[in-house]
Amino acid sequence: MNNNVSHGYSEQPSLSTVGSLLGASPAMQEVFRLIERVGPTEANVLLTGESGSGKELAAQSIHECSPRRARPFVAINCGAIPAGLIEAELFGYEKGSFTGAVRAHAGVFERAQGGTLLLDEVTEMPLDMQTRLLRVLETRKYYRVGASTEYTSDVRVIAATNRCPLQAVQNGRFREDLLYRLAVFPVRMPPLRSRGDDVELLAEHFLAELNAQARSQKRLSALARMTLKQHPWPGNVRELSNCIERAFILGDTVLDLAPLIQGAVVRDGDSASDRERLDIRVGSRIHDMERSLIEATLDYFKGNKRRAADALGCSLKTLYNKLNGYSQSQECANS
């Protein structure tokens, strides 16, 4: 069952834990319930949710609740690997199988043998690789690149994506049969903005950990607590954790968050600044609207691509690909 993590605030609920996840809100209690149900099984799990919402921690928690907990937990980001290398990363390769293969290499399926494999950003995987992955999931057999020896896979697969998987199927980016193979048991991770008091509870938890490491007694200011409640946290728990750490480094005794967050506090009756708005004319081309939104978001986060990608709900690789495409289009237009 869940363990409680108390921070000395009797008027607030205590954080509960399942594996590596923390939360007190009803939305997270439902996630905990699902993890405790599916953990002891062998069912493939598909985790969905925004970037930074805790999908990898959820995967680790499922692993820790399973009979495979003593075996490896291995994670791979399918969106961060070049298309030409993903097969070698998944299944490994033999020495000399391609230029640069100076020694044999075990892929993640081999390294996770007996344990759990997380395929993060699985909807970013190239379609031809999705076909090969589907076959491995169906047969539990695979070959290293350049090898003739067949390997048997004993791996529990968990997949994760920040996209809507059904929309990815409709757009032709993801195989429908692979989706149904992976989504035997779907779990949706709630965004931090829908988790109520979890925001302040998690902030206190992160601050307590930093205080313990530094042997200090720093605390949040009243304004910081207001900021916690009013900021939408587009980067979710990851953004919150990073913000608390930055405030901890910069603060002496009492920590303030507002200077660290763009447009953090919008009070009742106030309007957001022009930098938080984007006007789109009806009838605009989808491509142009997408480009305008991406460029405006980058401007809002002062060029920080990782924060922009988190806010847009896409992978960092996808954002880079979009920007490279815009740059190439501009070069063609100028030539």
Position 145: which residue type?
Answer: V
How many Å apart are CA 237 and CA 203, to the nearest integer? Answer: 9
How many Å apart are CA 91 and CA 86, to the nearest integer? Answer: 9
Residue 91: strand pairing partners: none
Q: What pLDDT, in 10s, does the model give residues 218-273?
A: 999 998 998 898 899 999 999 999 999 999 999 999 998 888 874 443 333 334 44
In this prediction, residue 10 has a pLDDT band, given cuts at 50, 70 and 90, of very low
Residues 114, 154 contacting (CB under 8 angstroms): yes
220 SS3 class: strand
Residue 278: pLDDT over 70:
no
Note the pTM of the prediction, 2 decimals. Answer: 0.74
Q: What is the pLDDT of residue 148?
A: 84
Q: What is the pLDDT of residue 315?
A: 81
**How many beta carbons lie within 10 A of that of residue 216, not counting itself?**
14
Residues 158, 118 contacting (CB under 8 angstroms): yes
Q: What is the pLDDT of residue 270?
A: 39
Q: Between 325 and 243, name the one with better pLDDT.
A: 243
Q: What is the pLDDT of residue 220?
A: 95
Mean pLDDT on 136-146 = 93
Q: What pLDDT, in 10s, does the model give residues 97-129?
A: 777 776 888 999 999 999 999 999 999 999 999
The rounded percent of the chain whose pLDDT value lies above 70 is 84
How many Å apart are CA 138 and CA 63, to the nearest integer? Answer: 21
Q: Between 302 and 187, name the one with better pLDDT.
A: 187
